[in-house]
Amino acid sequence: MSVKMLSLLTPKVQAFMKNLRGFGGLDQADVAHALGHLHHPVAGLLLRAKYADDQQALLKLERRLIEEVERVSTEEHWRVHKPGLIRLMARLALIETITTMTCFACHGTKYRRKQDQDGRETGQMVACRYCAGTGRYRFTDKRCYTLLGIDRKSWERVWRDRYSAHILTIPDRWESIGLGGMRKRLR
């Protein structure tokens, strides 16, 4: 891992460390070293793009994601009426994945206190519905269909579920693989 890479790691290193919780006493050099030895290349690209602001990694990652979404689209026999929609959805998923902003409702904890009909807390914890239990900042529906350039109806009826179930899960999985690999490396 070069010195340049190490310096790039600085701005978001706190968010990164938060995701690797439980590893007190690690410094940036340890993390940078582990990042350089990940076995899953795409997962490595994702971690670099997300936590090290690596623009080259981001471009490569975007290409890989578009390929992957195109593959899913063919497999699932999606009829895509709007040219470029696949590419836009891949980009949207990438933006949602690499943001290190946390969900405004659960503040990144993924759970919220359950309330009864009168708005009183029941003491139970439930998965946060605003971020679908990801803990991450998510765009609103309106923001999504506007960014994709499609109308609200086709977003709600067709594309929203496909996006959440088949597209957003791809970079999500890559991140889990990457973080898992990092944990192993840093053990």
Contacts with Zn ion, residue ranges (CB under 5 A): 103, 105-106, 128, 130-131
Name residues whose C-beta falls within 8 Å of residue 53's C-beta, 6 or more positions apart in sequence.
8, 11, 12
Nearer to Zn ion, 103 or 177 (CB): 103
In the complex, least distance from residue 101 CB atom to Zn ion, rounded to whole angstroms:
11
In the complex, least distance from residue 150 CB atom to Zn ion, rounded to whole angstroms:
25
Nearer to Zn ion, 23 or 130 (CB): 130
Neighbours of 113 (CB within 10 A): 12
Look-up of token digits 């977003």: 155
**Nearest-10 Cα torsion for 20, 21, 22, 25:** 80
In the complex, least distance from residue 77 CB atom to Zn ion, rounded to whole angstroms:
33
In the complex, least distance from residue 83 CB atom to Zn ion, rounded to whole angstroms:
34
**Nearest-10 Cα torsion for 46, 185, 21, 41:** 10
Nearer to Zn ion, 69 or 128 (CB): 128
Nearer to Zn ion, 30 or 172 (CB): 172
Closest by CA position to 168, among listed 143, 129, 134: 134
